[in-house]
Amino acid sequence: MGSTWSWSPGVGLLERAAPEPRGKNNEMLIMIGIVASLLLGLLKIFLGVQVAFIILIVPFSCYLIFEPRQWPQVSFLLFTLGVAALPVPYAESDFGGKSPEEFLYWAVALSVPAACALAGVYLQPKREPFWNSLPRDVLLPTLALALTGIASVLYGIIRGGVQVADCLRQASGLAVFCLYLLLAFKLSFSDRDMERIFGTVRNIVLLYSIFYVFYYLTEISRIHDFVRERSPLLFFAGLFASITIIRMLFFRSRRNLTEVAYVFVFLAASILSGSRSVAVSFLVTAAIFFYARYPSLSRKMVAVALLGVVFLIQNPFNLEATSEGSSSPIEQIVYRFITSPTADSSYLGRISEMVSIFRVVADNPVLGQGMGASLVWIDPFEGEVESPAVDTGIGYILLKAGFVGLSVFLWWSFIIIRRAIRLWRDTTRQGWLFVLVCLVFYCAFLPFGPSFFQFSYSFWIGCVVGFLLWKIRSAPELAAASFGSLGASLQS
């Protein structure tokens, strides 16, 4: 974490830049992590975990009023402690049920520190404008996205039949996204600051992944059954596995055993969680960047992959077993990833859910049913289900904001990703590669979940987009870019 990697013009290799001094900020963050963990453990004994966690958040949030630039790391650390101390077993995620109580504490860990940091920013005498400082090609889709979200909430309330509290709760992910975006923009982090933030957050996710792997391997060995947790941090394990392996792909000097070990830990946690959505998002993201780095070789690999998909669709191994019918924990984990679609309750449920969403949107194509709406659909195994949650990001947008919302989101995503490609191509700093990987990974996850709109995921991508918008504000207009130009710029 003490050095950066930069492109040396005319050299054809990625050279190591001068080491960055390890300042007091890093030492302060280490102390914050140690003190927070000790306090949480001590208060938990006397007050219970819920009260202890709320008490823990207060002093660190107050600290951010005076040191708002420490907000990304501190906020992510508190969120991680909340997820670890207040886990949600997967069995509690019933269709149509209320959100687990633990979600409230996770949301507090994200919103209160960010609100205090924002207060600290506005207490400073000099503040950067937001809307008036962005280029028009970025400003218009960003403004349209914000207005569409507001319109969805108002439409949901006006339509009736839903509680205002439900509308606001379902819009909480978008609100957290906007809060983190605004705060990251206002704090105007430098490229080095951004890279340091990514490094610190990766270390936090790494420690959690190690804890998760050892804890659940022990539990599985003890009860001889596959158990897992509804942990959003396993999404970030897949994300940082993507970032780490793609950094090795583009930066030769990062190809070492330590980085490989990091990837192994992240993937082990993701696989042990049984999350096929994270695994597929990782593979899709890695494949896209591999194609950008080695386009000629990638075409051959795409042909082989397509043949493999056709081969598996034929189901030559008769994969009709499900993870529920497997005897050992290892078999259950394996079958979660190789089960035939016809025997996969999750896959069949998502297909049925999307069919119901298209029927609903056909009657309300402009703004869907608005925020607060619930969806009634037929689950192949559970029967008729009514749920306010939607398992796919595309379905979420269509149900809550209709085709207008989907069109605006696609427009905004295209502009933001194109700008990120330009920055990475022109600067070749690793920080902008990290930003681009985050955007691609979040988009790859959209078929499986509302990554941009669920608070436990949206806070980080809001922060990342805030970094990007701040850089766009001060960067000159760059030439057009595409994914194919990523590899070409490094090979020229």
44-52 long-range contacts (CB < 8 A, ≥24 apart) are: 44/85, 49/85, 49/86, 50/86, 50/105, 52/85
Helix (H, G, I), strand (E, B) or coil at 315: coil
Q: Which two tokens stand for residue 479?
A: 């030439």
Is residue 285 within 8 A of residue 242, CB to CB? The reply is yes
Which residues are paired to 386 by β-bridges? 376
Question: Any idea where the domains of the chain sit in the sequence?
Answer: 22-127
pLDDT of residue 417: 94
CB of 60 closer than 8 Å to CB of 36 = yes
Give the integer Cα–Cα distance in Å for 186 and 127: 7
pLDDT at residue 21, rounded to an integer:
37
Instruction: Choose among 455, 350, 362, 336: nearest CA to 394.
Output: 350
Q: SS3 of 380, please? A: coil
Q: Measured between alpha carbons, how far is 307 from 56 in angstroms, rounded to an integer? A: 54
Task: Compute the distance between CA of residue 254 and CA of residue 245 in angstroms, rounded to an integer.
Answer: 9
pLDDT of residue 441: 96
Give the pLDDT means over successive 10-residue stretches in the chain (492 positions).
Answer: 36 35 50 61 65 82 89 91 81 53 88 92 70 79 91 84 74 90 90 91 92 82 66 92 92 83 92 83 91 74 63 51 53 64 68 85 87 79 76 88 93 94 86 94 92 92 93 63 50 44
pLDDT score for 238: 93
Instruction: Return the biggest CA–CA distance within the chain.
Output: 68
> What is the C-alpha separation between 90 and 145, in angstroms, rounded?
33
Distance separating alpha carbons of residues 476 and 12, to the nearest angstrom? 26
- pLDDT for position 6: 35
Report the 3 state secondary structure along 75-102. HHHHHHHHHHHCCCEHHHCCCCCCCCCH
Q: What is the pLDDT of residue 31?
A: 58
Report pLDDT for 114: 93
Neighbour-count burial of 27, counting CB atoms closer than 10 A to its CB (0-12 exposed, 13-18 middle, 19+ buried): exposed
